[in-house]
Structure 1
Amino acid sequence: MKQLLAFSALVVVASCAQTTVTPVAKNQIMISTSAEAACGSSGSAKVASRMAAVETIRRGYERYIIVGAASANNVSVYQTGPTYASTSGSSYSQGNNTYGYATTHFGGQQTIFHGTHDTNLVVVMFNAGDPEFDKAIDAKTQLGPNWQKVAKEGVNACN
């Protein structure tokens, strides 16, 4: 059972974020990432940051600077009521007296997380020779040695 729960959690976290990209100028984009509650705000920010590098490469640029950022969340948690009750007990008699106890266990409650963590980034992209190029972050370095695969597939996991 524990393995099934761990696998279920992994599946949820493995594909927990969606990103949209809005061009705002020839070398500027806005990244909007929405991540599942399980990812947390840091997971949403991580996906958005990596997608800034991905989009820089996809658009033919080498480096980028994040010039604006905002985040929000609308995550809520609620617990359902019990769905079953089980009562057990025992008794014994001693002389004219009977003694006993009964215990009721309630179960079936579930804790449910709902909502998303959202991150918005404004990104300016640069190529060699552009002003601020030397101050910008190298997109390939940010994505690591498998940058080509990541740039092709994108980022949708917050882990």
Structure 2
Amino acid sequence: MKIDAALVLVIGLALSACAQTNIQPMSKDTFKVSTVAAPACGQNGARNVTFRTAAIEVIRRGGDKFIIVGDTANSEFWSGDHNQAMVVKVIPEGSAEARNALSAREQLGPTWQEALAKGAPVTCD
């Protein structure tokens, strides 16, 4: 059975989906990450993009430890887009909060340097 190249492209685009993320500073140690993801991403895909972007931003700010202090999500009825927002607090190494904080590098995995170089994910895969 021959598969049409155009069909493969359409399926690939649908599966990869698009996501757009913005960072808003809130204080010296806190920022908000907001993502709008296409319907194909689903709410979990939108959450994953937002979380990975948060970890990348923590490293860009010179830190590694962070906590999520706020989290909201909704889906647009008419467009089907998924919106996710997280408020992130960067935690200083050696502080009392650091024991319970997440490591941005650990969350991004062994290829964290590659993720940092690429920046905020634009796909939900």
Looking at structure 1, the residues matched to 69 and 82 of structure 2 have their Cα atoms a distance apart, in angstroms, of 20
For residue 3 of structure 1, report the CA deviation from its aligned partner.
5.0
Letter in 2 for 1:26: K
SS at match of 2:20: strand
For residue 75 of structure 1, report the CA deviation from its aligned partner.
4.0
- CA offset digits 1:72-127 (Å, max 9, x no partner): 11144xxxxxxxxxxxxxxxxxxxxxxxxxxxxxxxxxxxxx34100010001113
**TM-score, normalised via structure 1 length:** 0.70
Identical residues among aligned pairs (%): 35
For residue 11 of structure 1, report the CA deviation from its aligned partner.
2.5
SS at match of 2:115: helix
Looking at structure 1, the residues matched to 95 and 21 of structure 2 have their Cα atoms a distance apart, in angstroms, of 27
Partner of 1:11: 13
Looking at structure 2, the residues matched to 10 and 66 of structure 1 have their Cα atoms a distance apart, in angstroms, of 32
Range with bigger deviation, 12-21 or 144-153: 12-21
Higher relative contact order, structure no. (Cα contacts within 8 Å, ≥ 6 residues apart): 1
Whether the aligned pair in 2 keeps the contact of 1:37 and 1:75 (CA below 8 Å) is no
SS at match of 2:51: helix
Looking at structure 1, the residues matched to 95 and 87 of structure 2 have their Cα atoms a distance apart, in angstroms, of 18
Partner of 1:156: 122
Looking at structure 2, the residues matched to 4 and 12 of structure 1 have their Cα atoms a distance apart, in angstroms, of 12
Partner of 2:38: 36
**Structure 2 unmatched ranges of 5 or more:** none
Letter in 2 for 1:4: A
Whether the aligned pair in 2 keeps the contact of 1:50 and 1:143 (CA below 8 Å) is yes
Looking at structure 2, the residues matched to 138 and 146 of structure 1 have their Cα atoms a distance apart, in angstroms, of 14
SS at match of 2:45: helix
Runs of 4+ residues deviating >6 angstroms: none
Which residues in structure 2 correspond to 1:75-90 (within 5 Å)? 75-76=77-78
Counterpart pick for 1:58 among 57, 60, 63: 60
SS at match of 2:46: helix
Whether the aligned pair in 1 keeps the contact of 2:71 and 2:87 (CA below 8 Å) is yes
Instruction: Tell me the number of residue pairs that the alignment of Structure 1 and Structure 2 aligns.
Output: 122
Instruction: Identify the structure with the greater strand proportion.
Output: 1
Instruction: Identify the structure with the greater helix proportion.
Output: 2
CA-based RMSD of the aligned residues comes to: 1.7
